[in-house]
Chains A and B, each alone.
Chain A
């Protein structure tokens, strides 16, 4: 009771103190459990730390080793393919779906609820669903393709060197389309209808409207979605863990899986942190370039 009356007085008389009091929990959590650990994590990337051993600084030794580490390069390459392909398909299909839902037809709110479902499905369950879809003998994919006469023998999708990458990409895109669609739909709904009405009077077709109204107005939202999904996809872990555990032969070992194995399976904490540092640098560079292109386009137009 006493603390409450105290707080009240401070809020009334000394505003600054009141603010610090209210903000203290956030400042505490952020510095102790977010800022300090991250700085520590970056530092650990320059040490040879293994769990239980003393920490010793080893400069850029980890990065020299990473540079000649074939496992790392392979996982980095597949990480890039995965991130670009999944983001591109996800955003374009999401935009298509959002445009369809934004057209003035009936039942769209009912449709939206159904479309929400894959997004609501936890990543681990997404992996389980698609594992069961891809089961060679009992899975729906092989049954459908056999019934359609497209394949004669069952394909073992998730252990085939040929098919595993497209197979995991389909599963990855499946779970993420809804997210992009719902966010973009919210963006589309902010475009005033008058703009379309006016352009119709000027004789603009659907394609003209899409190019000259929808895309320019939607651009900030679109740019935000693309950057966010890019980062999320680069960090994918759970669904791949369940689908393939990075196999066959490391073909689907995304950077996060590589870092997890180094750090928590083999205990090379320092080396795993170094992989994390490289991931931050790559992501920052990509986002920086992307934002620069965006800004240049904006100043040109």
Chain B
């Protein structure tokens, strides 16, 4: 009996590790490529691990200004759109939960219905609109699109979170003589911080990873976001640039992976603290 149990445990670990090998191998392969010299990549009999580690490709990416500039563009658009989304979503979610009205259902319904529209149908009229007000090929226009793009989901998360906070907490604070702003900043904010953090990371990552809108909107090479710049690398110059492209991909993926791992912790923390207090 005991044997069979430990056997099934080994089988489970084995299967999970097989999954992980499949899921991590492409990334490891590209990390290895980024550390190989160009000769080694084209040596005809490449090995999985680099024979000599070389940081040349990373140096060429860092010295080449384009990747750096595009990364900066992505950061600016991502941070600004995230701040705007949070500033809009948090008070709205609060209002939607605490004051019952028909507007709430209309907004929530629209969030769900709008998910069914393909991005092309979102992009065409927005493109026409942005062209009309002169915001195509501009970081401001792209920021605006990202606000519109991530607002529904952030509003949805925040709405759920605010709903999970018992109104008794606020009532008790008011009875103790707290003012409205004290209720919001001293009672609600600490409870909402995990949700705000998670939503902010979500909004930033959706902007950081987004490609389609940026491809359509940004025409000047100096305004390209990181994803657009990397996609351009694969197009024309293609094969000759395996090494630098691998290095750039690794650099571009690291922030996203770190934020995901971080976000996961934050989410579980928020859930656990919610469970303890509930």
Question: Which residues does A use to contact B, with CB under 8 Å?
Answer: 4, 8, 11-12, 15-16, 18-20, 22-23, 25-27, 29-30, 33-38, 40-42, 44-45, 51, 93, 97, 100-101, 103, 105, 107, 111-125, 127-133, 135, 137-138, 140, 143, 174, 177-178, 231, 234-235, 237-238, 241-242, 245, 255-256, 259-260, 263-264, 269, 272-273, 275-277, 279-280, 283-284, 287
Q: Chain B, 16-29, contact with A by CB distance < 8 Å: what is the 0/1 string?
A: 10011011111101
Residue B189 at the chain A interface, CB threshold 8 Å: no
CB proximity of B26 to chain A, nearest CB, Å? 4
Q: Could you say which residues of chain A place their CB within 8 Å of the CB of B116?
A: 231, 280, 283-284, 287
Q: Could you say which residues of chain B place their CB within 8 Å of the CB of A23?
A: 92, 95-96, 103, 107
Q: Which of A20, A37, A121, A130 contacts B129 (CB 8 A)?
A: A37
- Quick check: A118 and B253 within 8 Å, CB to CB? no
**Bound complex: CA of A201 vs CA of B252, how far in Å?**
52
Q: Could you say which residues of chain A place their CB within 8 Å of the CB of B227?
A: 122-124, 238
Q: Chain B, 97-123, contact with A by CB distance < 8 Å: what is the 0/1 string?
A: 001010100010010001111111111
- Quick check: A263 and B124 within 8 Å, CB to CB? yes
Residue B261 at the chain A interface, CB threshold 8 Å: yes
**Bound complex: CA of A93 vs CA of B13, how far in Å?**
16
**Bound complex: CA of A295 vs CA of B88, how far in Å?**
36
Q: Could you say which residues of chain A place their CB within 8 Å of the CB of B107?
A: 23, 26-27, 30
**Bound complex: CA of A16 vs CA of B99, how far in Å?**
8
Residue B91 at the chain A interface, CB threshold 8 Å: yes
Q: Chain B, 111-148, contact with A by CB distance < 8 Å: what is the 0/1 string?
A: 00011111111111111110100000000000010011
Q: Which of B29, B124, B148 contacts A33 (CB 8 A)?
A: B148
CB proximity of B270 to chain A, nearest CB, Å? 13
Residue in chain A with minimal CB distance to B34: A132
**Bound complex: CA of A231 vs CA of B113, how far in Å?**
12
Q: Chain B, 149-189, contact with A by CB distance < 8 Å: what is the 0/1 string?
A: 00110010000000000000000000000011100000000
Instruction: Please list the 5 inter-chain residue pairs (A to B) with the smallest Cβ-Cβ separation, ordered nearest first.
Output: A276-B121, A22-B95, A37-B125, A120-B260, A122-B209
CB proximity of A4 to chain B, nearest CB, Å? 8
- Quick check: A121 and B103 within 8 Å, CB to CB? no
Q: Could you say which residues of chain B place their CB within 8 Å of the CB of A25?
A: 87-88, 91-92
- Quick check: A105 and B13 within 8 Å, CB to CB? yes
- Quick check: B96 and A100 within 8 Å, CB to CB? no
**Bound complex: CA of A3 vs CA of B239, how far in Å?**
59
**Bound complex: CA of A125 vs CA of B254, how far in Å?**
11
- Quick check: A97 and B155 within 8 Å, CB to CB? no
Residue in chain A with minimal CB distance to B129: A37
- Quick check: B124 and A128 within 8 Å, CB to CB? no
**Which range contains the number of B residues in contact with the other chain?**
35 or more
**Bound complex: CA of A238 vs CA of B211, how far in Å?**
6
| In the complex with contacts A120-B257, A131-B234, A26-B155 CB distance below 8 A | yes
CB proximity of B8 to chain A, nearest CB, Å? 8
- Quick check: A38 and B30 within 8 Å, CB to CB? no
- Quick check: A38 and B114 within 8 Å, CB to CB? yes
Residue in chain A with minimal CB distance to B114: A34
- Quick check: A124 and B124 within 8 Å, CB to CB? no
Query: How many contacts between A and B, using CB within 8 angstroms?
Result: 250
| In the complex with contacts A123-B211, A124-B231, A129-B29, A174-B22 CB distance below 8 A | yes
**Bound complex: CA of A269 vs CA of B117, how far in Å?**
16
Other contacts beyond A138-B242, A255-B118: 18, CB < 8 A: A22-B91, A29-B88, A30-B151, A37-B126, A45-B121, A100-B19, A105-B13, A107-B13, A111-B16, A114-B24, A127-B234, A128-B30, A128-B230, A138-B46, A140-B29, A177-B19, A273-B125, A279-B121
**Bound complex: CA of A105 vs CA of B5, how far in Å?**
11
Residue B245 at the chain A interface, CB threshold 8 Å: yes
Ordered by A's residue number, 6 sampled pairs between the chains whose C-beta atoms are within 8 Å are A22-B91, A26-B151, A129-B27, A133-B29, A263-B123, A272-B120
Chain B 237-273 interface residues, beta-carbon cutoff 8 Å to A: 239, 242, 245-246, 249, 252-253, 256-257, 259-261, 264
Residue B42 at the chain A interface, CB threshold 8 Å: yes
Residue B48 at the chain A interface, CB threshold 8 Å: yes
| In the complex with contacts A135-B242, A177-B23, A8-B181 CB distance below 8 A | yes
Q: Could you say which residues of chain A place their CB within 8 Å of the CB of B127?
A: 264
Q: Could you say which residues of chain B place their CB within 8 Å of the CB of A124?
A: 209, 211, 227, 230-231
- Quick check: B249 and A129 within 8 Å, CB to CB? yes
Q: Which of B155, B209, B261 contacts A116 (CB 8 A)?
A: B261
Q: Could you say which residues of chain A place their CB within 8 Å of the CB of B120?
A: 256, 259-260, 263, 272-273, 275-276, 279
- Quick check: A18 and B99 within 8 Å, CB to CB? yes
Residue B196 at the chain A interface, CB threshold 8 Å: no
Q: Could you say which residues of chain A place their CB within 8 Å of the CB of B205?
A: 120
- Quick check: A115 and B23 within 8 Å, CB to CB? yes
Residue in chain B with minimal CB distance to A108: B16
**Bound complex: CA of A122 vs CA of B208, how far in Å?**
8
**Bound complex: CA of A15 vs CA of B117, how far in Å?**
35
**Bound complex: CA of A277 vs CA of B124, how far in Å?**
12
- Quick check: B151 and A29 within 8 Å, CB to CB? yes
Residue B82 at the chain A interface, CB threshold 8 Å: no
Q: Which of A51, A129, A280 contacts B30 (CB 8 A)?
A: A129
| In the complex with contacts A19-B99, A22-B92, A27-B103, A101-B16 CB distance below 8 A | yes
